[in-house]
Every structure is written in C-alpha cells, then in structure tokens.
Chains A and B, each alone.
Chain A
Amino acid sequence: SQKIEQNSEALNIQEGKTATLTCNYTNYSPAYLQWYRQDPGRGPVFLLLIRENEKEKRKERLKVTFDTTLKQSLFHITASQPADSATYLCALGGDTGRRALTFGSGTRLQVQP
C-alpha cells in the first residue's frame, strides 16, 4: 500500500544546531516533493519544492534533498532558532493518476533556547 512516513515523535534540539527531518515514501512515483510548515491552529505554509530531477534545493537556512532511489527526502534547518518550532509536513505531487498533493502526518520540531 502507499505510505508517506514522517517521524511521529517530536524532534527536540538546541538553538543553533541543525535540525534534520525525514520523509520516506513507498509505492509513489512523485514528480516533485514539497515541504510545509504548520503552526498550531493555523493552515500549512509552503516552504520549498524539489523536483524529481533535482538532488538538492536551498533557501536561506533551509535545505532539502530528494533521493528517488531511496524514496526519501531530508529537510534541514541550519542555525535553528526557537521561532523554527512548528510541525513540518512533506507532500508528494505529480504522481501518475493523482491530481492533488498527498501529505505526510508531519514531524513536530521544538528548538530549545
């Protein structure tokens, strides 16, 4: 069956460290993958998109990798700050026959000052 797996346990790190979040999927062939941030009581907000032919994408302190062989994306936040504390969702898109994004359940990140 098709699955998108994100670590359901919260990730706690110290301010200034690099946070690394994982998104694994099975039985999908996405054309691209997106990462969203969601704060409590708010809708998700788009952060980054990476296409299947891209290995890595960067935006300020964010870096995303996409390995279609491993069926995995890694999301890194460098020099993390308490304001980065939120839930981060990965979403797959462009899979044959699917017309909307499919989301993982998200990983909650807590950055301690």
Chain B
Amino acid sequence: GAGVSQSPSNKVTEKGKDVELRCDPISGHTALYWYRQSLGQGLEFLIYFQGNSAPDKSGLPSDRFSAERTGGSVSTLTIQRTQQEDSAVYLCASSLGSGTVYSGNTIYFGEGSWLTVV
C-alpha cells in the first residue's frame, strides 16, 4: 500500500487477555518502529527493527511486551496479560533506514491501533 497500515484500528480487551497488533510498513522500507502514545502524552519508543540486525528492544516496558518482524516486512506487537495501564495508541512507523538512523531518514507513521483495556 501507499502508507503504513495498522490493524486493528480499535481494540477493546479485558484485563488479562493477550492482544496482537499488526503493522504493514511501506514497501521497501527496511526500518520499522513501534511507539506508544498515552492520552495527551508524547510518543514513547518501544522497539526498532532494521533489516536483519538484532532489534533494539530497549523501550519495551515489561516482558509482557514482545514484537517480531517476519520476512523483513510485516510486524506484530504482542501484549500478554494486558493491564489497564497498557491502554494507549500504539503507533507503527517505517523508514528507508539506509545506513543508520543518523542519516535522518524521514519516518512515516500509521494511524495507530487504539487499545483499551477494561
């Protein structure tokens, strides 16, 4: 597609359930990012994938959070045993990612997956 695609756009889940959020990056983009944004807050970095390199997981808030990227394209963010504080918008972004992030490549965001844990 033309842009970064995320699904589902909205998800309401019960506390304790697992959820999976999917991201389809722009074709040809080797770098993929997950951020989280709580209401009225800035973007909190979660995880970064670049090509075949080991992902940077330094932003994942707990071991309930994990992400994978299959075939260098689609990514899935999984939250196990969801808690109410996990409620937020989960934003995925991608960029050409040539070289390193120092090159200043523009990153393109999807519209986010709105997660509500009740």
**A residues in contact (CB < 8 Å) with B:** 4, 6, 31-32, 34, 41-46, 49, 51, 89, 91, 93-94, 98-106
Contacts and interface: CB of A to CB of B under 8 A. Distances in A.
23 contacts: A4-B42, A31-B102, A34-B106, A41-B111, A43-B4, A43-B109, A43-B112, A44-B91, A93-B101, A94-B101, A94-B104, A99-B56, A99-B100, A99-B101, A100-B48, A100-B59, A101-B33, A101-B45, A101-B107, A103-B43, A104-B42, A105-B41, A106-B42
Interface of B: 4, 33, 35, 40-43, 45, 48, 50, 56, 59, 91, 93, 100-102, 104, 106-112
A46 B107 contact: yes
Given A102-B45, A103-B35, A105-B42, A31 B111 contact: no
Nearest to B111: A43
Contacts of B101: 93-94, 98-101
A38 to B, nearest CB: 9
Nearest to A90: B42
